[in-house]
Structure 1
Amino acid sequence: MSNFLSHEESGGCSEAHARYVDQLAIIDRDLESLTARDSRLGSIRVGLFFFLVIGFGFAITTGHPFWITVAVVALVAFLVAVVRNETVRNEMEILQSRSRTLRRLVRRLDRDWQALANDSLGNVADAIQLDSRQGALAGDLDLIGDASLFQLVSMAATTPGQRTLANWLTRPTDPDTAMQRHHAVQALAPARQERLQFYTLAREVGTSTGDPDSFVKWAASPMWLPSRRWLIPWGNFTAALAIAAIVVLIYATFTEDRDLTRFSFVALIAIAVVNLSIGSLLLGPVAQIFSIAIQSRRSVEDYAELFRSAELLPSAAPENTAPGDTVGRIRERLLGSASKRESASLAMTRLAVVAKAGSLKHSAATFLIYLPLQAFALWDVRVLRRLEAWKEQYSPQVHDWFVALGELESLLSLAALADEYPNWASPEWIQSGTDAAQQVNPNENVVLACERLGHPLLRDEVRVRNDVTIGPSGTLLLVTGSNMSGKSTMLRSVGLNVSLAMAGGPVCCQSMRLPPLEMATSIRVSDDLSQGVSFYMAELNRLAAVVEHARELHANTELAEDSATAFSPRLLFLLDEILQGTNSRERQIAVTRVLGMLVDSGAIGAITTHDLELADEPELARIAHTVHFRETITPDADGDERMTFDYTMRAGVSPTTNALRLLEMVGLGEEGRKSE
Structure 2
Amino acid sequence: MNSKDLHAFYTEREERFSLSLKDITSKINVVSNIRLTTAVLFLGCIYLALTKSTSFFYLLPVLLIAFVWMIFKHAQLFKQKVHLENLVAINARELKLLENQYEKIYSGAEFNDPTHPYAHDLDLFGEGSFFQAVNRCNTIQGKHKFAHGLKTPLQHKQAIIARQAAIKELSHRVDFRQHVAAAGNETEEERGDYDELLAWLKQQPFVYSKKGFKFLLVIIPAITTVAVAGAFFNPWVKTLAILLAIFQWGFLGIYIKRVNAFHESIGRKRGILEKYAHVLHFLQREKFESPVLTGLTNNAQQADQKLKHLANLVGSFNARSNALTSIFVNSILMYDLQYVYRLERWRSENENNLRRWLEAVSDIEVLNTWATYAFNHQQFVYADISENLALSAHELGHPLIEPTSCVTNNVQLGEGESILIITGANMAGKSTFLRTVGINIVIALNGAPVFATKFNCPLILLQTGMRTADSLKDHQSYFYAELNRLKSIVDQLRSKLPLLILLDEILKGTNSTDKQAGSIALVKQLIPHHCLAMIATHDLALGELEIEFPDHVKNFHFEPNIENDQLSFDYKLKRGIAEKMNATFLMKKMGIIPN
C-alpha deviation, 1:161, in angstroms: 2.8
C-alpha deviation, 1:272, in angstroms: 10
Instruction: Give SS of 1:414's match.
Output: helix
Alignment counterpart, residue 624 of structure 1, candidates 553, 561, 577: 553
C-alpha contact (below 8 Å) 2:397/2:409 kept by paired residues: yes
Alignment counterpart, residue 149 of structure 2, candidates 153, 156, 168: 168
Distance 1:376 1:619, change over 3 A: farther
Distance 1:190 1:303, change over 3 A: closer
C-alpha deviation, 1:92, in angstroms: 0.6
Instruction: Give SS of 2:75's match.
Output: helix
Per-residue Cα deviation, 1:213-264 (whole angstroms, up to 9, x for no partner): 44323223333535888976664355223431354267x4xxxx8x689879
C-alpha deviation, 1:496, in angstroms: 0.5
Distance 1:224 1:633, change over 3 A: farther
Partner of 1:23: 13
Distance 1:505 1:297, change over 3 A: closer
C-alpha deviation, 1:521, in angstroms: 0.5
C-alpha contact (below 8 Å) 1:206/1:212 kept by paired residues: no
Partner of 1:651: 575
Distance 1:217 1:663, change over 3 A: farther
Q: State how far apart, in whole Å, the 2-side matches of 1:14 and 1:613 are.
A: 47
Report whether the alignment pairs 1:141 with 2:131.
no
Report whether the alignment pairs 1:312 with 2:236.
no
Report whether the alignment pairs 1:455 with 2:398.
yes
Partner of 2:85: 96
Alignment counterpart, residue 243 of structure 1, candidates 207, 213, 225: 225
C-alpha contact (below 8 Å) 2:420/2:556 kept by paired residues: yes
Report whether the alignment pairs 1:301 with 2:277.
yes
So what's the TM-score if we normalise by structure 1?
A: 0.76
Q: State how far apart, in whole Å, the 2-side matches of 1:87 and 1:271 are.
A: 40
Instruction: Give SS of 2:164's match.
Output: helix
Partner of 1:611: 539
Query: What residue identity is the alignment partner of 2:568?
Result: T
C-alpha deviation, 1:533, in angstroms: 1.6
Distance 1:52 1:644, change over 3 A: farther
Q: State how far apart, in whole Å, the 2-side matches of 1:616 and 1:360 are.
A: 76
Q: State how far apart, in whole Å, the 1-side matches of 2:433 and 2:424 are.
A: 12
Distance 1:275 1:91, change over 3 A: farther
Distance 1:33 1:344, change over 3 A: closer
Q: How many residues align?
A: 589
Distance 1:466 1:618, change over 3 A: closer
Partner of 2:137: 156
| Structure 1 portions without partners, runs of 5+ | 1-10, 316-326, 336-342, 432-444, 554-568, 636-640, 672-676
Alignment counterpart, residue 584 of structure 1, candidates 507, 512, 525: 512
Percent sequence identity is 23
Alignment counterpart, residue 482 of structure 1, candidates 425, 431, 439: 425
Distance 1:620 1:108, change over 3 A: farther
Q: State how far apart, in whole Å, the 2-side matches of 1:483 and 1:228 are.
A: 75
C-alpha contact (below 8 Å) 1:474/1:602 kept by paired residues: no
Per-residue Cα deviation, 1:151-196 (whole angstroms, up to 9, x for no partner): 3332222344333322222225132322222122223222222222
Per-residue Cα deviation, 1:33-56 (whole angstroms, up to 9, x for no partner): 322333444445455545555665
| Structure 2 portions without partners, runs of 5+ | none
Instruction: Give SS of 2:301's match.
Output: helix
C-alpha contact (below 8 Å) 2:187/2:271 kept by paired residues: no
Q: State how far apart, in whole Å, the 1-side matches of 2:79 and 2:192 are.
A: 18
C-alpha deviation, 1:616, in angstroms: 4.1
C-alpha contact (below 8 Å) 2:113/2:120 kept by paired residues: no
Task: Say what the alpha-carbon RMSD is for the aligned residues.
Answer: 4.0
C-alpha contact (below 8 Å) 2:245/2:332 kept by paired residues: no
Distance 1:599 1:311, change over 3 A: farther
C-alpha contact (below 8 Å) 1:198/1:309 kept by paired residues: no
Q: State how far apart, in whole Å, the 1-side matches of 2:577 and 2:98 are.
A: 36
Query: What residue identity is the alignment partner of 1:18?
Result: A
C-alpha contact (below 8 Å) 2:557/2:578 kept by paired residues: yes
Aligned runs of 1:12-51 on 2, under 5 Å? 12-49=2-39
C-alpha contact (below 8 Å) 1:580/1:587 kept by paired residues: yes
Distance 1:395 1:360, change over 3 A: closer
Partner of 1:322: none
So what's the TM-score if we normalise by structure 2?
A: 0.85
Report whether the alignment pairs 1:113 with 2:102.
yes
Q: State how far apart, in whole Å, the 2-side matches of 1:585 and 1:209 are.
A: 51
Q: State how far apart, in whole Å, the 2-side matches of 1:481 and 1:244 are.
A: 91
Instruction: Give SS of 1:670's match.
Output: coil
Distance 1:174 1:304, change over 3 A: closer
C-alpha deviation, 1:663, in angstroms: 2.7
